[in-house]
Chain A
Amino acid sequence: MSIHIDPLEKKWIIMSAVIILLSWLLILYYASVENIHPPSNVEVIDSARLHLPSGVGGGEFTEDKLGLRKEPDGTLVVTMVAARYGFYPQHIKVPINTPVKFRMASFDVLHGVLIPFSNMNTMIVPGYVSELTTRFTKLGDFPVICDEYCGLAHAYMYGMIKIVPKNEFKLTSEAH
């Protein structure tokens, strides 16, 4: 049994298909060629024991390990804890146009992290490590904003990041 499809409808279906196909291809291009993926590392951690060296994923987020460090291969890594109502460390300084890897974990409830004018944006879910690598392209001071409701003082939860020219950047603390 056939159905009645108007010629105009046929044209519209083709147009719709082309629009969808182009969107898919564009996204696939950026994912495969430019390697743009959302943060998705699926890595578990015991959020209630972040401060202890033992336990699932333990040791990485103890107080003395927080902040910016350089890995042996030269990668800059920021280790950061999100907890009501702040990000620790509260102040970060990184060079412009340089890949920076963020490793983040929540100490309590759901949090998010958003840095305006960058693609630094991810959820921080208790029980999981959030990891993403980004490059900052604008100089200046920007807030590191918690962008998921985490309690009544949620709007007060933020830190600061300073993006400086490469020649002004000096790592003050060495890798642990």
Chain B
Amino acid sequence: MATSSTGSSDIALSTETIKSTNKLAFWNFVVAFAAFALALPMGAYQVLERSGMFPALENAAVYYASTSTHGVLMAYVLSTFFIMGFGYHTAVHSLKQTLWSPRFAWIGFWISTIGVVLAALPLLTGHASILYTFYPPEIAHPAFYIGAAMLVIGSWFWCVIMVISTVQWKKANPNKPVPLIMYGTVLNALLWLWTSVGVAAEVVFQLIPMSLGWVDSLDPGLARVLFSETLHGIVYFWLFPAYLVMYTIMPKEAGGKLFSDEFARIAFLMLFIFSVPIGMHHLYMDPMIAAGWKLLHMFGTFMVAVPTLITGFSIIATMEIAGRLRGGKGLFGWIKTLDYTNPVVLASTLSLLMLTVGGWGGVINAAYSLDALIHNTQWIPGHFHLIYGGTTVIMYFAAAYWLWPKITGHQLFSNKLVLTQLWLWFIGMWITTMPWHYLGLVGQPRRVDTVQAYQQAEELVRSWDFSMLIMNFGALILLVSGLLFVYILFMTAREPAISKADREVSYAEAIHPPLHVPTLLNSLAFWNWAMLIYLIASYGYPILQFWFIGTPESPAWGI
């Protein structure tokens, strides 16, 4: 590494700093992957139960407790803890400075962890079977909402540390571009702060008071609008680190360089600004929002496709550079020469393939006039399992395989098994989600524990049979693959130690590493103001309206 875009690569981190960061990253990952390991068999159970082919499994109460727990653990716990662990590691190693207050980070970790345990108790005992979107006026046990709020509040500690670390670095390195991976990480922290406001307001002002009996009614319409403010930004909060692995780790692993640093920054900023104020496309089918607002959010929703299109271009171009450096010739020859035995390269490739199809499905969901076809059908779980479970989580696996030896000091257990695991996840995800997309198109609703109940529509129900059979195989493959992932991490602890050089952390460089970037591509303050204005414009009136349209409120209902 002759020159560095940060100009600070010569600064060595103290062993003490590296050790304490590794510990922080490790324990965040442990919670993340423990949640994953617990939620995974539940997912498989739900598929088998719902298929109706195993009557012994059928039980609505267990199914909805399982679905609620699976959703909370996968979508909130796995993602948040993975992102926190990865972010702490990134902040220290990319900025080459000590973490601002590891103590503060541990406080956040414990608040979130205790929150998860608190929420898990009612979830597992069937007292919070309201699904991970917890739509009132059905009300769960208060411990569920308090636990969920603690998880979010703990994650804000992480956000604060990411922002302070970046600001400190910018002060010490005036006019230098923030390292690309850190710029993305801090934007993601800010994205999460902005987007979690909606759900936090819903939980703190509506759900906790209602579940404790402090108030006896609420407006479910307001609750849905507040939740929608979180519901789309959160998806990009999960996806962002997956993109960061592709932009800043994959190029080097593939043996090449990133196609463009500036283009990546533009994509990150667009992800930040366009992913939050567009959540109302989740409410297209809701009666309490006027059509004009939905149309407005439709425009923004399509805009968020742009950074994904940019990412697709940049990552494929980056792979092409690596493939050609490895001797690939001709228009497509470079595809063959890429090193698919490298977990990060393989996962990035498979992730992009899933993103292409999943993203196309997302465009259907975003289409103002097409949404009625698929809203709340099985298409929707098909879509988000492909995008989150597939595209995103496979990159979490890749990041874990890349990081685990560095933070534990042990050689990764069996690269062959690692590749098998990634392939199985990819194959299992297609076999599970393709039937779901199809079932949605032919009218199967999501969130039902059985489809055998629609007896009078026998012909329709029979037409679902084949897809319902196929999905079982997909779910079992995913179960095997997911367990294999956890097994590999476990077994790595028994492997021989690796050298200090192999534990070095460095990130990919662009072909033209920028020495300076325009202020707008390096700033945070400007974009926060832009976000505030955009949010007020898109959510101001739709939230305010609930104070004067005079909705008669709803009482609490049990499950």
| Nearest CB in chain B: distance from A118 CB, A | 9
Instruction: Evaluate whether A20 and B260 lie within 8 angstroms (CB atoms) in the complex, with A56-B550, A156-B453 already known.
Output: no
Q: Tell which of A24, A109, A121, A126 touches B372, judged by Cβ atoms closer than 8 Å.
A: A121
Q: Tell which of B284, B375, B457, B545 touches A142, judged by Cβ atoms closer than 8 Å.
A: B457
A43 close to B (CB within 8 Å): yes
| Residues of A close to B373: CB separation below 8 A | 119, 121
Contact status B549-A109, CB under 8 Å: no
Bound state CA distance, A21 and B285, in angstroms? 24
| Residues of B close to A45: CB separation below 8 A | 552
B135 close to A (CB within 8 Å): yes
Q: Which of A9-30 contact B (CB under 8 A)?
A: 9, 12-13, 16-17, 19-20, 23-24, 27, 30
Bound state CA distance, A84 and B306, in angstroms? 42
Return the chain B residue nearest A158 by Cβ: B454
Binary interface encoding of chain B residues 239-276 relative to chain A, with 1 for a CB under 8 A from any of its CBs, else 0: 00000000000000000000110110000000000000
Q: Tell which of A16, A27, A127, A129 touches B306, judged by Cβ atoms closer than 8 Å.
A: A16
A63 close to B (CB within 8 Å): no
Q: How large is the interface on A (under 10, 10 to 19, 20 to 34, 35 or more residues)?
A: 35 or more
| Nearest CB in chain A: distance from B202 CB, A | 14
Binary interface encoding of chain A residues 31-54 relative to chain B, with 1 for a CB under 8 A from any of its CBs, else 0: 100101111111111111100000
A165 close to B (CB within 8 Å): no
Instruction: Evaluate whether A152 and B457 lie within 8 angstroms (CB atoms) in the complex, with A3-B517, A20-B306 already known.
Output: no
A–B complex contacts, Cβ < 8 Å, 30 sampled: A3-B521, A4-B260, A23-B363, A27-B368, A30-B368, A37-B291, A38-B368, A39-B285, A40-B287, A40-B291, A44-B549, A48-B552, A108-B137, A108-B557, A109-B554, A112-B285, A112-B375, A120-B372, A121-B285, A121-B371, A125-B286, A125-B287, A147-B445, A149-B131, A149-B135, A151-B557, A152-B64, A154-B447, A155-B60, A155-B449
> Given contacts A6-B263, A125-B224, could you give 10 more A-B pairs where the C-beta distance is less than 8 Å?
A3-B262, A13-B310, A27-B298, A110-B137, A126-B220, A127-B220, A128-B287, A143-B454, A149-B447, A151-B558
**Chain B residues within CB distance 8 Å of chain A:** 60-61, 64, 129-131, 135, 137-138, 219-221, 224, 259-260, 262-263, 283-291, 294-295, 298-299, 302-303, 305-306, 309-310, 313, 317, 363, 367-369, 371-373, 375-377, 442-451, 453-454, 456-457, 460, 512, 514, 516-519, 521, 545, 549-555, 557-559
